[in-house]
Structures are given as C-alpha cells and as structure tokens.
C-alpha cells in the first residue's frame, strides 16, 4: 500500500487563500497531462481547461465582480445540485458552509459577511491562477463522471507538486459572463472553476476540515461473511 497516495488523498483539502506566488507554466502543463491520464468511457476524454493568470485573469475577475455589482441574475445552464435538495444532503451542505463561515468568524446572521465571502469565489479566492472547466453541451451524464475523474487527477497532481486548489462550482452561475469574456463557442458549457496556487497556510479560512460520511452510509458488502 502506498503511503504517498494515502497522504495525497487524505491531506488534500480545498484551499481558499493563497500566497502571492506564481504557478509555473510547466507545472500547469504537468497538471493538465496528469489530468488527461484519467480513464473515460470509450476514451472520449471529455472536458477542456481554460487556464488564466495575470491580465486575462484580472479581466475576467473585473467582469464577474461587475456582474455581482449589477445584481445580474444567475445563469441556469445546468444544475450542479439536486432540486430540491433532500434533507440529508442539505445537512451536509450546511455543515460545510458553517465550518467555512466559522473559520472566518462570520456569524450565521451576518448576511453581508456571507455575501462578501461568496463574492470571493468570483475572484478565484485571490489565487494566481484561475481555471474555467468546460464540457461540450451535448455530453451525457457519463461524460460528467469522466470529467470528475479528470478533475480529481488534476487536483492530486496539484497537491503532489506542492500547490493547492479549490473547485468553484459557483462559476457556473455567471457562465454567460465567462463565455463572453473568453469568447467560448456555443457548444461549450461552463461546468466550474478552479483556483490554484500556493496555500496561505496561516489564513483562518484554511484552518478547517470537512467531515465525511461513514463507510456504512455509502458502501454495502455482499457475500463476504461466511
Ligand atoms: C467541483 C467542485 C466545485 C466546488 N465549488 C465550490 C464553490 O463554488 N465555492 C467553495 O467555496 N467551495 C467549492 N468547492 C469546495 C467544496 O466545498 C469542498 O470540496 C467540500 O466542502 C469538501 O471539502 P474539502 O475539499 O476541503 O475536502 C467545490 C469543490 C468541487 C470539487
């Protein structure tokens, strides 16, 4: 059993504050190549990455912050979460949200504080590199599963190279802003964003850990007991 893999899997966590240090282009290319090594149904290899830094990243952030300032309604290109959210999932969502706000000392009633943290999603949490993840609109649910494996491989390589990341599903809320800014084709669906950089380990937002469901909640074993 590989300690390296366990270490990567169990020490990875979403990082939402970054140091002011660049990510080398060669490192990003290595992350992309590692991601593409993921398996996919019929080897279709779905998904594209739009990787931004410097001015292109700053320009996209300006457009996204303008959309927030304008109270622009969210796009509903695809639904990330089940609608309605069943109570047991709502509970998990709440727990993750409370852990985040508690780490930042944002109280449950501090709507302004929560709004400000939400807006931070659209700055890629101040990371030096922002990624927009897209998939062809015509792809089926299986292809989204493939995209997930692609992204997990990407995230593991990020960790392995000494960087950190977080997914930003909230990016899909302003898909049309992103499509326009990047000049995406009509067939490209914005799935999520990623923020990548060196973790600011001392920042309060990076101090909490999320919990996971127990084994008995998601795995059933058949025919093992004799
Ligand atoms: C595809 C994807 C989208 C995500 N979107 C967001 C997001 O929009 N905002 C955010 O703060 N965290 C986001 N996250 C981070 C999750 O909240 C986080 O993965 C989850 O709470 C588990 O915590 P951990 O990653 O630290 O283990 C996203 C994660 C993934 C994988």
Lowest mean pLDDT segment, chosen from 22-26, 57-61, 79-83, 219-223: 79-83
What is the position in ligand 1's atom list of the atom closest to the CA of 96?
A: 21
Answer whether residue 31 is part of any domain.
Answer: yes
Q: What is the pLDDT of residues 107-158, one digit of tens each?
A: 989 999 999 999 999 999 999 999 999 999 999 999 999 999 999 999 999 9
Q: How many angstroms does the Cα of residue 29 sit away from the middle of ligand 1? A: 23
Here the CATH number for the domain that contains residue 195 is 3.40.109.10
The total domain count for the chain is 1
Answer whether residue 8 is part of any domain.
Answer: no
CA 153, CA 147: separation in Å to the nearest integer? 10
Answer whether residue 107 is part of any domain.
Answer: yes
Answer whether residue 11 is part of any domain.
Answer: no
What is the position in ligand 1's atom list of the atom closest to the CA of 148?
A: 1
Answer whether residue 7 is part of any domain.
Answer: no
Answer whether residue 132 is part of any domain.
Answer: yes
Gyration radius of the chain over CA positions:
18
What is the position in ligand 1's atom list of the atom closest to the CA of 13?
A: 26
What is the rounded average pLDDT of the residues 173-202?
Answer: 97
In testing the pocket of ligand 1, which one of 166, 172, 190, 194 has its CB within 8 Å of the most ligand atoms?
A: 166
Q: Residue whose CA is closest, atom 22 of ligand 1? A: 210
* Cβ atoms within 10 Å, residue 179: 19
pLDDT confidence band for 12 (50 / 70 / 90)? very high
Q: What is the pLDDT of residues 32-68, one digit of tens each?
A: 999 999 999 999 999 999 999 999 999 999 999 999 9
Answer whether residue 156 is part of any domain.
Answer: yes
* Domain with 136 in it: 16-207
Alpha helices in 37-140 (DSSP H): 54-69, 87-103, 111-121
pLDDT value at position 1?
80
Answer whether residue 141 is part of any domain.
Answer: yes
């Amino acid at each position: 059993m590989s300690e390296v893999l366990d270490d990567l899997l169990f020490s990875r966590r979403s990082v939402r504050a970054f140091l002011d240090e660049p990510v080398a282009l060669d490192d990003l290319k290595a992350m992309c190549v590692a991601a593409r090594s993921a398996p996919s149904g019929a080897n279709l290899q779905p998904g594209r990455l739009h990787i931004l830094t410097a001015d292109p990243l700053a320009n996209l952030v300006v457009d996204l912050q303008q959309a927030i300032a304008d109270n622009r309604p969210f796009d509903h290109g695809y639904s990330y979460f089940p609608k309605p959210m069943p109570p047991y999932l709502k509970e998990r969502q709440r727990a993750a949200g409370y852990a985040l706000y508690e780490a930042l000392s944002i109280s449950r009633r501090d709507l302004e504080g929560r709004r400000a943290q939400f807006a931070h999603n659209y700055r890629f949490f101040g990371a030096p590199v922002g990624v927009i993840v897209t998939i062809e609109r015509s792809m089926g649910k299986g292809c989204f599963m493939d995209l997930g494996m692609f992204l997990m491989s990407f995230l593991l390589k990020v960790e392995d190279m000494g960087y950190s990341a977080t997914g930003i599903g909230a990016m899909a809320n302003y898909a049309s802003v992103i499509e326009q800014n990047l000049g995406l084709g009509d067939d490209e669906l914005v799935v999520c964003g990623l923020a990548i950089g060196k973790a600011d380990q001392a920042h309060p937002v990076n101090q909490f850990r999320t919990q996971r469901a127990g084994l008995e909640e998601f795995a059933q074993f058949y025919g093992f007991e004799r």
